[in-house]
Amino acid sequence: MAMSIAAHLRAFGTFLDSLGEAIQMLKHEYGDPTIFVFGRGHEPFDVIANHLQVLFQNAVKARRRPSWRVLLDSVVSTLPRGTKLKLVDERNSVGIALSHESIATVSALDRKLGLVVDDIGRHTEFGFGNQEIEHVCAADSMAALAFTTSRSGYARELGLAHVHGLGPTIGFAMIVLRLNDWVPQVRVASAKAIERLMKNDGGPNGGLPYMIAGSMGLLLDDARFGRMAKPERDVVEALISYPKVKDALRTILIFGVSDRAKNQILGLILQTGFYDELLPEVAEKAECSYRRLIAFKALLYRKYIWKEGGKVRERTIELPAHTSEVARRALLDKSANVAFAALGFIIETRDLSGLDDGTVEILLKRPEASLERRIALLRSMIGR
């Protein structure tokens, strides 16, 4: 009996040793959430480079010592699904590091991340093979995104095949970029990845409508997609019309300070006509005065003018809103720039229909120096 107890104790000690080794591996793969916070005090791409180096080195080790990976897999497989998702999805340094980057710089970020991935790959002797990529993606759900930026078309294709969920909007935008990839197989893989995301609302964290809305400046910019064939264009159209995207767009355009990506989205809506119906709400409710100004001007003049390829282009805005009511709201806007534009419209068109007595009284009391000349012109028009 004593030997049996001793044997059990030895077995238990062996189990504890194995568990301790496995926990260290988990920390190596996922980071220790109690002591390690990605991105704190570091540049985003330094964080990504350091993290990928660990993942790539571990993948190379696993190729030579398969038992190492087997032990890790056996421990992870025993965890509850929710815990496993938390380990993977909350420790993805690629997503955390990119989470505050602007979608307006997606092309530059895509190229920069690709250079980081390939450079780390060379230093760690990472072969970008299917087994290695699967190993890294199992350890970091956002690592697949990193592979989609590699200069190797095979690596980009494999990365896209392993994308099943996304973190920040810019990650989704990087996958949309691959719809225009110069390698046909990568374009097909990108379309398949996006179709998977549309089936599961963007992955474990959901929120695909907001990712699509945040990437609308890319999706509506037809000049970016010259290589696409019909299947990829069908995917773009499906994204634009995806359920609840209009509600997400409304939120993005109304809330938040001035942002180049959001302003670009509004400009492309005005150029293309997609979601014109949001303009009255943007004009009246947007927290950003620049977006209110652009929306008000489009509604007042019933057209939008922009430059493209050195040429001036114009599109008519067809909406049921009455110009007089739009002008009245613009004159009363808290932004002097919006009121300045509304005064310019009234003086130019001599359309006084938006001027009731209450609006005129408020307007004449506005203190902004930039409005004085136009208010004086208006007073002479109405005889006050």
Is the sign of the CA dihedral 49, 76, 204, 60 positive or negative? positive
Q: Determine whether 78 is exposed, middle or buried from the number of CB atoms within 10 Å of its CB (0-12, 13-18, 19+).
A: exposed
For the entire predicted model, the pTM comes to 0.80
Is the CB of residue 164 less than 8 Å from the CB of residue 158? no
Residues with Cβ within 8 Å of 130's Cβ and at least 6 positions away in sequence, in order, are 158
Q: What is the pLDDT of residue 302?
A: 93
Farthest CA pair distance, the chain: 111
pLDDT at 224: 87
Nearest alpha carbon to residue 138 among 92, 198, 201: 92
Q: What is the pLDDT of residue 37?
A: 36
Rg of the chain in Å (alpha carbons): 28
By C-alpha distance, which of 132, 76, 73, 145 is closest to 106?
145
Amino acid (one-letter) located at 100: H
Give how far the C-alpha of residue 141 lies from the chain's centroid of Cα atoms, to the nearest Å.
17
Question: Helical H runs in 31-105?
Answer: 44-64, 66-77, 81-89, 93-98
Sorted by sequence, the CB contacts under 8 Å of residue 371 that are 6+ apart come out as 336, 339, 340, 343
Q: Which of 36, 169, 185 is nearest to 104 (CA)?
A: 169
Count of alpha carbons within 13 Å of 47, Cβ hemisphere only?
20
- Structure confidence at residue 31 (pLDDT): 46
Per-residue confidence in pLDDT tens, the chain, 384 aa: 455 666 655 655 555 555 555 555 555 444 443 323 333 446 788 888 888 988 898 888 766 655 555 565 666 666 665 565 555 555 678 888 888 788 888 999 999 999 999 999 999 999 898 888 988 887 787 889 999 999 999 999 999 999 887 778 899 999 999 999 999 999 999 999 999 989 887 666 668 999 999 999 999 998 889 899 999 999 999 999 999 999 999 999 999 888 888 999 999 999 999 999 999 999 999 999 999 999 999 999 999 999 888 899 999 998 876 778 899 999 999 999 999 999 999 999 988 887 888 888 898 888 999 999 999 998 888 876
Task: Round to whole Å and give the CA distance between 278 and 270.
Answer: 10
